[in-house]
């Protein structure tokens, strides 16, 4: 997938939902983050780019889980490579936008997110409850790290709000992986529908905050 470098940079929050899976971010700070999206209708390209990148993330991680479930090592490697390539591309763009140090830090954070999701997928397939639990702990901690990084880079993205959005995203990963491994295609299809809807919510909130920070660049 190709897009202008700026739009990839603005998608730095990859990283990577409904209240029945986890407590959704409904407090005032979360509402403020979501309001940022509604307040920036003049940046439709940014919003579209952010949505596309977040949708790509969940499509690729889903493909990995499906391949693991099917025992297709080649397909699993392909999907994993695509997740990593996308994360690297985003991190490189962040480095060009916020500086090399920020790019390196974002790559580390994205690697942490994917590493936890991958470990969770492999563990659930193997029936290893201990590794699965550790992966969820790592995913939760990583959500806090990403939220701290983003809020530090952009004052329009409250840390608690971003953490809540990412926690919901992580809960969706866990729910979807479990359904895939159980072979519950009907439930997984519904979870994926909700997951994709949440990606749009998250992308819009982030795009709104970024548009406020860089009004001259966001279109």
In a domain, 147, yes or no: yes
- Of the CA atoms within 13 Å of residue 79, those in its CB half-sphere come to 23
Q: Output the pLDDT for position 52.
A: 85
Residue 147: domain span: 43-213
In a domain, 139, yes or no: yes
Separation in Å, CA 168 to CA 58, 100, 103, 120, 197:
13, 29, 25, 16, 12
In a domain, 29, yes or no: no
Q: Output the pLDDT for position 90.
A: 64
User: What's the first-to-final CA gap in the chain, in angstroms?
Assistant: 19
In a domain, 25, yes or no: no
Per-residue pLDDT of the chain (219 residues; tens, 9 = 90+): 444 343 334 444 333 332 333 333 334 444 444 444 444 444 788 788 778 888 888 999 999 999 999 999 999 999 999 998 877 776 665 555 567 887 788 789 989 999 999 999 999 999 999 999 999 999 999 999 999 998 898 898 899 999 999 999 999 999 999 999 999 999 999 999 999 999 899 878 777 777 788 787 767
pLDDT in tens, 147-166: 999 889 889 889 999 999 99
- pTM, entire model: 0.81
In a domain, 82, yes or no: yes
In a domain, 171, yes or no: yes
In a domain, 26, yes or no: no
Q: Output the pLDDT for position 92.
A: 65
Calculate the dihedral angle through the C-alpha atoms of 161, 162, 164, 166, rounding to the nearest 10 degrees: 170
129-153 helix and 159-182 helix, angle to the nearest 10 degrees: 150
Q: Output the pLDDT for position 11.
A: 41
In a domain, 28, yes or no: no
Which helix (H) or strand (E) is 129 found in, with range? helix 129-153
Looking at the 3D structure of the chain, how many domains does it have?
A: 1
Q: Is 173:61 a contact under the CB 8 Å cutoff?
A: yes
């Amino acid at each position: 997938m190709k897009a202008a470098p700026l739009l990839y940079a603005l998608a730095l929050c990859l990283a990577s939902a409904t209240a029945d899976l986890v407590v959704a971010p409904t407090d005032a700070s979360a509402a403020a983050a979501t309001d940022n999206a509604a307040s920036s209708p003049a940046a439709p390209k940014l919003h579209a780019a952010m949505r596309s990148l977040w949708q790509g993330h969940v499509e690729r991680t889903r493909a990995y889980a499906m391949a693991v479930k099917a025992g297709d090592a080649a397909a699993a490697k392909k999907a994993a490579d695509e997740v990593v390539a996308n994360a690297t591309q985003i991190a490189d763009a962040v480095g060009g936008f916020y500086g090399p140090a920020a790019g390196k830090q974002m790559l580390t954070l994205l690697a942490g997110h994917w590493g936890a999701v991958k470990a969770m997928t492999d563990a659930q397939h193997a029936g290893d409850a201990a590794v699965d639990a550790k992966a969820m702990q790592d995913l939760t901690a990583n959500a806090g790290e990403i939220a701290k990084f983003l809020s530090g880079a952009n004052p329009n993205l409250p840390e608690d709000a971003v953490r809540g959005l990412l926690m919901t995203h992580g809960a969706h990963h866990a729910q979807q992986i479990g359904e895939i491994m159980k072979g519950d295609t009907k439930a997984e299809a519904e979870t994926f529908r909700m997951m994709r809807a949440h990606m749009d919510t998250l992308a819009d909130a982030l795009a709104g905050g970024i548009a406020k920070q860089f009004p001259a660049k966001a279109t």
